[in-house]
């Protein structure tokens, strides 16, 4: 949306300048420009290559896809997932990796199947601990986004990732005694950690692979560590990676 507004602003300036010279030319330019923005997303030739190359990263982040929402009040206390979840039989250490305990992973998948039959906005309100009437969820595209009181507050990598967070949150509330004591920001990070440790997709049951990837938004390219399902292709986890991926 920010990119679209800027491109429409450029169009408006162009129309205003041309209108002083020729109203007909201004009308033609305006129509062509709006069509180009609608079809390509950009008006200026060379976009998004030019923006990725010349705009600073701090500015590009304002126009790229944001990370999953972190709404917590207090994130000053670090939480060790292995210490917390290891004692609750949620995570187990193998010879080469840390993964979800198989029984816990299956319980999350079972809960997820039931959640798909619920009102998703209501289930999300339970996860975020806010009244459902304050939330609006757009899950029609590849990346579900949520608004609180009409303001964008977060998104998930996929519908499967959103459903997994809701299901894991319910399971952890019954498995980890102190779960409700953590801030929303802390729970958000821990839930992302749960998704990163999945071995099987909770939606289709196929294998999940953790791998480096490059994600391209409208204005920048980001190196990430990602987890996706081999079967349904759902992106279940994504974390920006500081070092360039070869």
> Quick check: 91 and 98 in contact, CB under 8 A?
yes
Does 41 lie in the same domain as 97?
no
Whether residue 32 is predicted with pLDDT greater than 60 in this model: the reply is yes
Quote the CA–CA distance of 91 and 3 in Å, as a whole number: 41
pLDDT at 67 over 50: no
Q: Are residues 10 and 130 both part of a single domain?
A: no
Please tell me whether residues 196 and 144 are part of one structural domain: yes
The answer as to whether 12 is a domain residue is: yes
Range of the domain at 188: 81-240
104-127 pLDDT, tens digit each: 999 999 999 999 888 889 999 999
Same domain, 117 and 197: yes
Report DSSP letters for 203-228, one per residue.
Answer: TT--BEEEEEEEEE-SS-EEEEEEEE
* pLDDT tier at 73, thresholds 50, 70, 90: very low
What is the residue whose two structure tokens read 């990430």?
224
108 and 159 housed in the same domain: yes
Same domain, 19 and 100: no
Residues 99, 214 share a domain: yes
At a CB cut-off of 8 Å and minimum separation 6, what does 2 contact?
A: 62, 63
**How many structural domains comprise the chain?**
2
| Residues β-bridged to residue 93 | 98
- What dihedral do alpha carbons 101, 102, 105, 111 form, nearest 10°? -130
| Residue 209 sits in the same domain as residue 164 | yes
Asked if the structure places residue 220 within a domain, the reply is yes
Task: Note whether residue 175 is domain-resident.
Answer: yes
Half-sphere exposure of 128 (CA within 13 A, CB side): 25
d(CA 237, CA 245): 17
Contact call for residues 226 and 203 (beta carbons, < 8 A): no
Percent of the chain exceeding pLDDT 70 equals 78
Residue-wise DSSP of the chain: -HHHHHHHHHHHHHHHHHHHH-HHHHHHHHHHHHHHHHHHS--STTTTHHHHHHS-HHHHTTTSPPPSP---S---S---HHHHHHHTTSEEE-SS-EEE-HHHHHHHHHHHHHHTTS-HHHHHHHHHTS-GGGEEEE-SSSS-EEEETTEEEEE-S-HHHHHHHHHHHHHHHHH-TTGGGS-HHHHHHHHHHHHHT-SB-TTT--BEEEEEEEEE-SS-EEEEEEEEETTT--EEEEEE-SSPP-
Determine the average pLDDT of the residues in 52-76. 46
Determine, yes or no, domain membership for 9. Answer: yes
Same domain, 128 and 195: yes
Residue 73 lies in a domain: no
The reply to whether 246 falls in a domain is no
Task: Please check whether residue 70 lies inside any domain of the structure.
Answer: no
Judge contact between 37 and 1, C-beta under 8 A. no
Domain annotation covers residue 71: no
Does residue 210 sit in the same domain as residue 110?
Answer: yes
Judged on CB neighbours under 10 Å (0-12, 13-18, 19+), 21 is exposed
- Tell whether 42 and 159 lie within a shared domain: no
pLDDT above 90: percentage of residues in the chain: 31
CA distance 64 to 118: 31
pLDDT for 18 beyond 70: yes
pLDDT digits (tens, 9 = 90+) for 134-147: 999 987 777 889 99
Which pTM was predicted?
0.67
Domain check: are 225 and 118 in the same one?
yes
């Amino acid at each position: 949306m920010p990119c679209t507004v800027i491109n429409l602003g450029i169009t408006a300036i162009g129309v205003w300048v041309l209108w002083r010279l020729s109203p007909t030319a201004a009308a033609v330019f305006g129509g062509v420009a709006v069509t180009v923005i609608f079809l390509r997303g950009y008006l200026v030739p060379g976009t998004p290559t030019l923006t990725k190359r010349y705009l600073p990263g701090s500015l590009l982040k304002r126009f790229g896809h944001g990370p999953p929402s972190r709404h917590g009040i207090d994130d000053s206390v670090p939480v060790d997932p292995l210490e917390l979840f290891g004692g609750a039989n949620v995570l187990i250490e193998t010879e080469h990796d840390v993964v979800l305990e198989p029984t816990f992973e299956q319980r999350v998948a079972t809960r997820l199947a039931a959640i798909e039959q619920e009102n998703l906005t209501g289930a999300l309100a339970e996860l975020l601990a806010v009244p459902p009437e304050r939330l609006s969820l757009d899950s029609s595209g590849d990346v579900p986004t949520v608004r609180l009181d009409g303001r964008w507050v977060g998104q998930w990598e996929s519908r499967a990732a959103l459903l997994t967070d809701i299901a894991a949150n319910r399971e952890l509330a019954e498995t980890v005694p102190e779960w409700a004591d953590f801030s929303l920001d802390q729970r958000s990070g821990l839930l992302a950690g749960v998704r990163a440790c999945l071995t099987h997709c909770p939606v289709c049951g196929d294998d999940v692979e953790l791998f480096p990837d490059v994600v391209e938004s409208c204005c920048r390219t980001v190196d990430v560590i990602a987890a996706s399902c081999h079967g349904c292709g759902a992106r279940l986890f994504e974390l920006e990676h500081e070092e360039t991926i070869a």
